[in-house]
Amino acid sequence: MEIKVTNTNEINIAEIKSDNIEIKNAQDALEIFANCMYQDASKIIIHEKNIIPELFDLKTGIAGEVFQKCSNYKVQLAIVGDYLKFSSKSLKDFIFESNKHGQINFVSSIEEANERLAKANS
């Protein structure tokens, strides 16, 4: 896993680059958040492919555990992926609400992730 930190509008944004699943549970997420924050970046981009697929099945509870860590540690997260493939109404509603509030962002591109995270007020 590589953590690439860039500075946009004087805001450090960390992008997780990996070919592996890096987040399998809340502890994995917390370790990634801590590593990014150590590099002065509390805004983080991760790709859907780097997260265990069960996170996107809200019944497992993994999403709640991981996203609670975001709230507790004041991490703003952008998850880059293709969300059209998911048919769950509850997941679609969750994505819609999350994107409205901005702490957890489900986006389709790195550019969109950077745009959302680079807003200083978030």
How would you write the pLDDT of the chain (122 residues) with one tens digit per residue? 999 999 988 999 999 999 999 999 999 999 999 999 999 999 999 999 999 999 999 999 999 999 999 999 999 999 999 998 998 999 999 999 999 999 999 999 999 999 999 985 54
Domains of the chain (ranges, CATH numbers)? 2-117 (3.30.750)
What 3 state SS string does 62-112 have?
HHHHHHHHHHHCCCEEEEECCHHHCCCHHHHHHHHHHHHHCCEEEECCHHH
